[in-house]
């Protein structure tokens, strides 16, 4: 490959930087606990703005037949008279596109179809349908159930894997970090009343995957260093491990964020909220693997001798009282 | 960093195969159809949200199936006891069971023995147990109960759903030419997907009616008003009139002939009045029954009932022995057409209700594809720029790995016939991010080893080997997530999970193996300095 220009990459990361992550583990964990409590409060006080998947009802996206701007006021007026409950109308993406939301109709599955017929009749001629979604009561309650179950099972599956690959202390750190990521993301959705639908559940699951990915990279390095530095004080070892993987964490995080921003800006209206959730999750997940998952090990202690027979030595790391800052 | 010639050949063969498989997807369908048959012609299929189309999820009413079955059981019980010459006082349906009141209580044991023949063995594949679909037991005072068992009902529903799928297929896609997908979802649901369809009104009319056509004898003793005030004679029931205001009539509940004994039904016009009618022809058995009935009921009315509503009640002028006739029932051309299709396809075993409907117009789908392409290209360029900036020549190798990754992911999706959806595009992009991460892990590790004073070749070797464990761990956890998504998710989540999983599976080959091979080529021609090779990361 002599023809190939041989050029060097820019190692823009200052590697001799030794950031004292463990020194901040107390404040960081306290901050996270406060943030989690706030998220929970917002979740219970304001609740989530469930999308059609979970709440049921009708969503109809239409475009004016002429291609000109839609008359939202008139539309609101004519659809409001149909006697199908509250109708929400908003511009969607372009002035000619309108999204119409009709709440779930009382009277079972067939009532939804009747409402759809009424709306279609009222829109006839002036608007062209671009998208229609009807979710009946049976499906919406099912989706709600399986959606939450999916997140729950996802957390369990990941934790089980980490437990199997590492020690239980790592699994505890990971499960706390995952719960933290999910709670905060849900909290932001509740706080700003962003629409929470099935795609956000997919985003949450992906965030879980990304966050644990980060934690696993750090954990792998911790395990390696545990073998390498048998006598090093645990907090310092954890700190070194986080620092050693920091360049990778930042670079991968940046790439993910760049790609997600591209999707958010250019990917269209339909997956905008999904991308927002992913962006949030990547930032929160990166934070939690550095400031929560790894520092948790400092509190829990961990088996130090990885070279000998399995389980020969009990967990004998720095006891939890040695929670002092590393240099 | 050594690859045997065989291994190299294998790697390039896989890459070439992947590229070959995605080629058809870049051309129009018509162009690809003209290609010779030995080149791959399968294209990546697009999900409904990208190409436009309708998605309808129907649910079968279990109550209908149960009611139907009980009625069959009741008729069978009556017939069996009559054949066995066991006297019966009454046979009726009460509280989800068939209740038989015997004329002589002492015949109970014989009756139970006879009725047990109604029960059918059903097996459960999962638990390996077998049981009967109904339970026949003796109650107080010469009463025998025939109670459907839970597995029996499940079995019935499952069979009814299978039958309904066949019926729907005959209605929606009689010639098998459209790309309509009609499949079972869970136990009692049916999913219909029709690409390209946006106006679902027609489709819903076709699928939404049971279209159970029956021909009934009309009671001569009682009008509907009388029956409503007192009660209809045993075996008779009041049926309401349909659209034409036929008025209610008292009809014998067990029909003379049923729609499933029709051989054909065609829309047409009445020769005298010119109104739309449906001409029908019975099969042999149906024709015989109808012939016998009309012979003995000349100058009396009979009723044609569709889904429990009378659509017409003509008077028999003369015996109809040929087995064909026509139904006039204030049809429009359209509704006559529809009913003819429905009659030819047979009745649905139970009523189906829509529980979930999604339609996407072609313009929105096209917009989404454009948006997805744009985002993909911009995201891809940004990733390439970042990687090359950070890792120089090796970054270029990583980008080749990314292209191979993208090609292989699409190739596998094409091969397994998974369709690409909008969330799927997001999954694809995320898979690329995961692939980049694998490269970042390797290159950062190489840098680290270099800083630790290792020679160039050793650092590269260690970098790939040590990073591999981490890569495998992180990919496997994400795969676990994707599996959960696929297992529990529905619709949009599944599309996302599929592309993400495929992306993860290909990323180890593309981003580790291929990149490693490229680095090994580079090593062979690399400039040697006194300190070994100069690694450009």
**Distance between CA B177 and CA B175 in Å, rounded?**
5
Name the E strands within chain A. 49-50, 57-64, 87-92, 94-102, 127-135, 195-196
Of the candidates B346, B62, B104, which has an alpha carbon nearest to the alpha carbon of residue B189? B62
Of the candidates B470, B493, B497, B502, which has an alpha carbon nearest to the alpha carbon of residue B481? B497
Distance in Å, alpha carbon of B98 to nearest chain A alpha carbon: 29
Interface of A with B in 4-43 (CB under 8 A): 4-12, 15
Residue of B nearest to A271 (CA): B423
**Distance between CA A47 and CA A57 in Å, rounded?**
18
B327: alpha, beta or left? (left if phi > 0; alpha if psi -120 to 50): beta
pLDDT at B414: 92
Asked if A213 and B478 come within 8 Å (Cβ–Cβ), the reply is: yes
Smallest Cβ–Cβ distance between B392 and the set A8, A12, A136 belongs to A8
**Distance between CA B384 and CA B381 in Å, rounded?**
5
Question: Helices (DSSP H) in B23-122: which residue ranges?
Answer: 29-33, 48-51, 62-83, 108-115
Average pLDDT over residues A290-318: 64
Q: pLDDT digits over A193-205, tens only?
A: 998 988 888 888 8
Residues of B in contact with A167 (CB under 8 A): none
Which residue is it, tokens 């190939």? A4
Residues of A in contact with B537 (CB under 8 A): 8-9, 11
C-alpha to C-alpha distances, B299 to A262, B311, B342, nearest whole angstrom: 79, 19, 30
* Ranges of residues in chain B whose predicted pLDDT is under 70: 123-129, 243-246, 491, 529-531
Asked if A271 and B490 come within 8 Å (Cβ–Cβ), the reply is: no
**Distance between CA A281 and CA A286 in Å, rounded?**
8
Residue of A nearest to B481 (CA): A154
Residues of B in contact with A258 (CB under 8 A): 379, 382-383, 386
Asked if B436 and A216 come within 8 Å (Cβ–Cβ), the reply is: no
Contact partners, residue A119, CB within 8 Å, separation at least 6: A58, A60, A79, A82, A84, A100, A102
Flag whether residue A2 sits within 8 Å of chain B, measured between CB atoms.
yes
Asked if A216 and B372 come within 8 Å (Cβ–Cβ), the reply is: no
Distance in Å, alpha carbon of B234 to nearest chain A alpha carbon: 34
The total of other beta-carbon atoms located within 10 Å of residue B130's CB is 10
Q: How many CB pairs under 8 A join A and B?
A: 245
Interface test with A, best of B47, B488, B522, B524 (most A CBs within 10 A): B488
Distance in Å, alpha carbon of B326 to nearest chain A alpha carbon: 32
- pTM value? 0.79
pLDDT at A313: 40
| pLDDT bracket for residue A1 (50, 70, 90) | low
Interface test with B, best of A138, A156, A165, A248 (most B CBs within 10 A): A248
Asked if B361 and A138 come within 8 Å (Cβ–Cβ), the reply is: no
ipTM above 0.85, yes or no: no
What is the share, in percent, of chain A residues with pLDDT greater than 90? 15
Asked if B204 and A206 come within 8 Å (Cβ–Cβ), the reply is: no
Distance in Å, alpha carbon of A267 to nearest chain B alpha carbon: 5
Smallest Cβ–Cβ distance between B525 and the set A2, A109, A252 belongs to A2
The pLDDT of residue A225 is above 50: yes
Smallest Cβ–Cβ distance between A220 and the set B470, B488, B536 belongs to B470
The pLDDT of residue A269 is above 80: no
Flag whether residue A164 sits within 8 Å of chain B, measured between CB atoms.
no
Flag whether residue A159 sits within 8 Å of chain B, measured between CB atoms.
no
Residue of A nearest to B60 (CA): A109
Contact partners, residue B43, CB within 8 Å, separation at least 6: B24, B25, B29, B32, B414
A18 in Cβ contact with A239 (< 8 Å):
yes
Asked if A11 and B469 come within 8 Å (Cβ–Cβ), the reply is: no
B57 in Cβ contact with B356 (< 8 Å):
yes
Which residue is it, tokens 């990733």? B383
Decide: helix, strand or coil at residue B529. strand
**Residues paired with B257 in a beta bridge:** B215
pLDDT at A309: 42
Distance in Å, alpha carbon of A186 to nearest chain B alpha carbon: 18
**Distance between CA B497 and CA B503 in Å, rounded?**
10
pLDDT at B411: 94
Taking the alpha carbons at both ends of chain A, their separation in whole angstroms is 46
pLDDT at B493: 77
- The secondary structure of residue A103, as a DSSP letter, is P
- Which token pair is B74? 């009741």
**Distance between CA B285 and CA B146 in Å, rounded?**
30
Flag whether residue A202 sits within 8 Å of chain B, measured between CB atoms.
yes
Smallest Cβ–Cβ distance between A136 and the set B356, B473, B536 belongs to B356
Asked if B355 and A136 come within 8 Å (Cβ–Cβ), the reply is: yes
Distance in Å, alpha carbon of A9 to nearest chain B alpha carbon: 4
Q: CA angle at residue B460 from B457 to B466, to 5 degrees?
A: 135
Q: DSSP secondary structure string, B392-441?
A: HHHHHHHHHHHHHHHHHHHHHHHHHTPPB-HHHHHHHHHHHHHHHHHHHH
Interface test with A, best of B426, B491, B498 (most A CBs within 10 A): B426
pLDDT at A326: 40
Decide: helix, strand or coil at residue B314. coil
Interface of A with B in 67-86 (CB under 8 A): none
- Give a three-class secondary structure readout of B194-230: EECCCCCHHHHHHHHCCCCEEEEEECCCCCHHHHHHC
Average pLDDT over residues A15-19: 77
């Amino acid at each position: 490959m002599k023809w190939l220009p041989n050029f060097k990459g820019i190692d823009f990361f200052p590697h001799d930087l030794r950031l004292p992550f463990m020194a901040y583990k107390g404040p960081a964990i306290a901050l996270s606990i406060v943030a989690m409590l706030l998220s929970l409060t917002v979740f219970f006080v304001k609740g989530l703005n469930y999308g059609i998947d979970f709440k049921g009802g009708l969503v109809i996206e239409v475009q004016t037949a002429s291609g000109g701007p839609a008359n939202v006021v008139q539309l609101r007026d004519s659809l409001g008279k149909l006697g199908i409950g509250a109708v929400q109308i908003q511009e969607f993406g372009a002035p000619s596109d309108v999204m119409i939301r009709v709440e779930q109709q009382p009277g079972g599955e067939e009532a939804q179809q009747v409402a759809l017929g009424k709306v279609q009749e009222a829109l006839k001629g002036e608007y062209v349908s671009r998208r229609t979604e009807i979710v009946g009561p049976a499906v919406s309650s099912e989706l709600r159930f399986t959606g939450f179950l999916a997140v729950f099972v996802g957390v369990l599956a990941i934790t089980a894997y980490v437990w199997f690959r590492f020690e239980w202390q790592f699994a505890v750190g990971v499960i706390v970090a995952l719960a933290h990521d999910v709670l905060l993301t849900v909290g932001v959705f509740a706080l700003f009343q962003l629409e929470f639908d099935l795609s956000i559940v997919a985003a949450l699951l992906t965030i879980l995957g990304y966050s644990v990915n980060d934690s696993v990279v750090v954990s792998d390095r911790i395990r390696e260093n545990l073998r390498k530095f048998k006598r090093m004080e645990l907090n310092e070892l954890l700190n070194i491990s986080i620092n050693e993987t920091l360049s990778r964490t930042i670079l991968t995080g940046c790439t993910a964020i760049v790609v997600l921003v591209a999707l958010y800006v250019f990917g269209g209206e339909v997956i905008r909220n999904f991308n927002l959730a992913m962006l949030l999750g990547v930032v929160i997940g990166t934070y939690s693997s550095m400031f929560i998952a790894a520092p948790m090990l400092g509190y829990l202690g961990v088996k130090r001798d990885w070279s000998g027979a399995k389980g020969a030595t009990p967990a004998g790391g720095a006891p939890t009282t040695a929670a002092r800052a590393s240099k | 960093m050594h690859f045997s010639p065989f291994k190299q050949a294998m790697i390039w063969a896989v890459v070439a195969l992947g590229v070959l498989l995605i080629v058809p997807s870049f051309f129009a369908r018509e162009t690809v159809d003209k290609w010779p048959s030995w080149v791959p012609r399968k294209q990546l299929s697009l999900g409904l949200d990208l190409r436009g189309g309708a998605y309808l999820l129907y649910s079968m009413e279990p109550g209908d199936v149960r009611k139907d079955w009980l009625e069959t059981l009741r008729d069978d019980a009556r017939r069996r006891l009559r054949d066995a010459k066991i006297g019966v006082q009454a046979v009726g349906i009460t509280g989800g069971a068939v209740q038989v009141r015997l004329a002589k209580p002492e015949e109970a044991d014989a009756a139970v023995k006879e009725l047990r023949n109604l029960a059918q063995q059903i097996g459960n594949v999962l638990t390996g147990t077998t049981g009967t679909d109904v339970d026949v037991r003796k109650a107080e005072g010469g009463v025998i109960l025939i109670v459907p068992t839970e597995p029996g009902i499940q079995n019935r529903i499952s069979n009814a759903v299978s039958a309904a799928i066949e019926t729907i297929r005959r209605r929606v896609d009689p010639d098998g030419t459209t790309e309509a997908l009609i499949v079972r979802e869970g136990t009692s649901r049916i999913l219909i997907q029709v690409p390209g369809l946006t106006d679902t009104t027609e489709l819903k009319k076709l699928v939404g009616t049971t279209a159970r056509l029956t021909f009934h004898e009309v009671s001569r003793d009682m009008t509907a008003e009388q029956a409503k005030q007192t009660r209809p004679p045993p075996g008779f029931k009041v049926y309401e009139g349909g659209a034409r205001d036929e008025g209610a009539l008292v009809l014998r509940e067990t029909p003379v002939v049923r729609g499933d004994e029709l051989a054909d039904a065609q829309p047409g016009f009445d020769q005298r009045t010119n109104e739309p009618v449906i001409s029908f022809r019975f099969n042999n058995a149906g024709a015989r029954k109808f012939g016998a009935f009309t012979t003995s009921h000349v100058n009396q009315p009979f009723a044609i009932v569709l889904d429990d509503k009378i659509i017409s009640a003509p008077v028999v002028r003369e015996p109809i022995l040929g087995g064909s006739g026509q139904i006039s029932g204030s049809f429009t051309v359209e509704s006559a057409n529809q009913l003819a299709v429905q009659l030819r396809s047979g009745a649905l075993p139970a009523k189906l209700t829509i529980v979930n409907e999604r339609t996407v117009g072609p313009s929105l789908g096209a917009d989404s594809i454009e948006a997805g392409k744009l985002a993909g290209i911009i995201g891809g360029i940004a990733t390439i720029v970042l990687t090359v900036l950070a890792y120089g020549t090796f970054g270029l190798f990583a980008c080749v790995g990314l292209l191979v990754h993208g090609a292989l992911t699409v190739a596998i999706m094409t091969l397994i016939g998974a369709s690409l959806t909008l969330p799927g595009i997001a999954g694809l992009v995320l898979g690329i991010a995961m692939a980049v991460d694998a490269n970042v892990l390797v290159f950062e590790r190489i840098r680290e080893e270099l800083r630790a004073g290792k020679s160039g070749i050793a650092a590269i070797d260690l970098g790939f080997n040590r990073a591999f464990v981490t890569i495998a761990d992180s990919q496997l956890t994400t795969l676990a997530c994707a599996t959960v998504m696929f297992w529990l998710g529905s619709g949009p989540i599944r599309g996302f999970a599929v592309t993400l999983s495929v992306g993860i599976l290909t990323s180890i080959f593309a981003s580790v193996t291929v990149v490693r091979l490229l680095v090994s080529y580079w090593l062979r021609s690399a400039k040697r300095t006194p300190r070994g090779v100069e690694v450009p990361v």
